[in-house]
Structures are given as C-alpha cells and as structure tokens.
Structure 1
Amino acid sequence: MGFNPCAPPEGTMSAVYLLLLLLPLISAQTYHWGPCPTPKVQPSFNLQQYLGRWYEIEKLPASFERGKCIEANYAVRRDGTIRVLNSQFYKNKTRVAEGTAVIHDMRDPAKFGVSFSYFTPYSPYWVLTTDYTSVAVVYSCTDIFRIFHIDYAWILGRSRFLPYETVSYAKELLINEGIDLFRMKATDQRGCKDN
C-alpha cells in the first residue's frame, strides 16, 4: 500500500471513531480539548471531619445527576473503604446509588477514587477545599488519550442553601485552578424532604 498524503495520521481515525461512539454520553457532560488540569487539593485533609451528609449546591453537568434534592452521604466501612450514598429526586421518585471511595495514597488523602460498579474503574474525586462544616469544592477529570477531557465540579454544602458569597468564593477557586465553569448550574434544593 502506498503513502497517501491526504490520509490522517495513524491512530487518528481510531480516536475519531471513539469520539463518535462517545458523543451521546459526552453530550450530557462538560468536555474540553487537551489533558485535564491539575488543581491543588486541600492540604492536611481530614477524612473523619469530611464524612457525613453534603448537599449539592452547584455542579457542572453530569449525565447521572438530572434530578433535584441531590445529596451525598459518606461513611467509613469496616474494611476501610468509604461508602458513598448519593440520592436525588427524579421523575417523581427518590433514586439512590451506592458506591465505594478509596484513598489511593495516604500521603495525599484529599484525592479519592470513586466507583459505583464492580465493572467500572475508580474515577478521580479530589477535594480542592473544605472547611468541613459548611462548604466543600470537589473536582473530577478523566483524560481521553490526552486529546480531550471530561470534567465534573461540585460545590457542596452542609445545608441545602449557601450564602451567595460562599458560592462565589468556591467558583473563584475553581476558575483560578483553570477549570471552565461556563456550564455550571445550580441544583434545585427547594421543597426537599430531609430524612
């Protein structure tokens, strides 16, 4: 077979085909060209103080979060893994998903891996900042061959509503770390029932 100057470089077509296959999934996410940013995480992170219930205040779009009253509850299991219990009210029903989080390197405890299935790899879950009692800012990013990345960001609160200044501070932190918040939107926490 001869050289074709119009043909794309080897490997490019596979990446294009993969991108086309992933487009339906990606359309409900936030994606950008290039590799993931590497934001700084919470220094001296204390897992015990972070455990418990957090309410989602704002987020970048995620296909698995389409409802309202979204919250996450973290607890340590006997085996040392972290139980992640996410819930949301969607299509007139409370839907719950249970996952597992692990800290891969105890020297960097603010960086978790989270999985909601035995069949999926652990996704990054990085706590960029938290005061443990009112607000937390969390980021996750997955590189696809360093061609593009899919990222998620969450502003969480210990209560369903946070002051405007607190949310602005959280957004500014994300922007300063190179994270694009153009598609970030508030989560509806009105009329939610507390368990």
Structure 2
Amino acid sequence: MAAGCLFLLLLLLPLASTQTYHWGPCPSPQVQPNFKLEQYVGRWYEIAKLPAPYTKGKCIETDYGIRKDGTIQVRYARFHKDKMRRAEGTAIITDAREPAKLGVSYSYFTPYSPHWVLTTDYTSVSVVYSCEDYFRVFHVDYAWILGRSRFLPPDTVRYAQDVLIKEGVDLFRMTATDQTGCKED
C-alpha cells in the first residue's frame, strides 16, 4: 500500500506546477451538437489555455485541414525561445455519433488524445477541452479558447470561459496567450 501511495505521489509532483489536475476520473462535458468539420477547418489562434508543458510560447496557432484519406491534418505553430516551432499531427473523429469528439496525435507512437470541441460558431470562437485520466484516481484538464483572429472581444472570451465553467472545468490556472508582435504567414 505504501509503495502504491509513493508511486502516485511521484506521478503527481511534476503535474502540480504546470497543469490542472483533480481527483477522480475525467468528466464527460457536452460537445458541440451537429458539429460540421468542413466549417471548422482552417486557422485558429490560441486566445487562452490551461497550461501544458508543450504549449509554452506566444503567437500560438493551429491550422486544421482534411486530407484525402479523411483524416484531419493538424499543423501547430508557436514562437518559443526566439524560434518558431512547428509540429504536424493527425486528428480523427473518435465517435461518429459525436463528430465534435476528436482525437489528436503528433506521433505514430502515441495514442490519440481527446480534443473535444465544446462549442464553436465556426467564424470567431471555439472552446476545446481535453482530459487525461490516470487510473481513474486523478485526471489532468486541458482547455483552450481559440479565435479566428488573434484577439477576441472580452465578452466573447467571457462567454467561452462560462462554457468551461458550466462543464465543471476549473479555470484558476487559465492564462491568456500572447498574440502581440506575431508575423503572419
């Protein structure tokens, strides 16, 4: 028993400083009804997020496109440590009955992580949620507010935050993403 508690403590320590973790399994928030992938594809800029180690930087954006094989190309870019860093991944619809439930992977060797679109109007704002469950003992929340432009009106950001709060997502660690001084492609 003591070894199990020590193991759990060792798992939690790295998460405590950068991520939003909670006891219990991942929640199951409501996703965008009648999600239309064809309207969602294109460029989205990160407005705010719950922190994750791989999302440090500024000028963060994600571009979604549909490949010929039906998978979704995900191109991620961020400016970090004086350099533009890019990654390309693949997204799939994990549940055909709920097409807003995407899975995203940036490597052939990693499983698809949940990437659920909770709400979007397709033209200005999107709220995305992800969660990693650790043995149903605790989970780590990830959330993003995305915009079709680098800056959203405060009322729109508040609306997006309210969507997350309504679904029980703790926004205490949510931070705004710096989108100033960014170069356009």
SS at match of 2:38: helix
How many angstroms does 1:13 deviate by?
A: 3.0
Distance 1:26 1:121 in 2: 23
Distance 2:35 2:3 in 1: 43
Q: Give the number of equivalent residue pairs.
A: 185
Distance 2:6 2:42 in 1: 42
Picking from 74, 90, 95, the partner of 1:100 is 90
**Is the counterpart of residue 45 in structure 1 residue 35 in structure 2?**
yes
Q: Closer, same or farther in 2 for the Cα pair 1:76/1:146, shift >3 Å? A: same
Alignment gaps of 5+ in structure 1: 1-7
* Equivalence for 1:180: 170
Distance 1:28 1:78 in 2: 37
Distance 2:16 2:41 in 1: 30
Distance 2:22 2:53 in 1: 16
How many angstroms does 1:23 deviate by?
A: 2.9
Residue 178 of structure 1 aligns with an amino acid whose one-letter code is: G
* Equivalence for 1:189: 179
Residue 194 of structure 1 aligns with an amino acid whose one-letter code is: E
Picking from 104, 111, 116, the partner of 1:114 is 104
**Percent sequence identity over matched residues?**
69
Distance 1:17 1:174 in 2: 31
Do the aligned partners of 1:25 and 1:63 also contact (CA within 8 Å) in 2?
no
Do the aligned partners of 2:45 and 2:149 also contact (CA within 8 Å) in 1?
yes
Report the RMSD for the aligned CA atoms in angstroms.
Answer: 1.4
Give the alignment of 1:1-195 within 5 angstroms. 8=1, 13-14=3-4, 16-21=6-11, 23-24=13-14, 27-195=17-185
Alignment gaps of 5+ in structure 2: none
Do the aligned partners of 1:58 and 1:187 also contact (CA within 8 Å) in 2?
yes
Distance 1:45 1:21 in 2: 35
How many angstroms does 1:19 deviate by?
A: 4.2
Distance 2:78 2:17 in 1: 21
Do the aligned partners of 1:83 and 1:100 also contact (CA within 8 Å) in 2?
yes
Do the aligned partners of 2:15 and 2:21 also contact (CA within 8 Å) in 1?
no
Distance 1:191 1:113 in 2: 31
How many angstroms does 1:16 deviate by?
A: 3.6
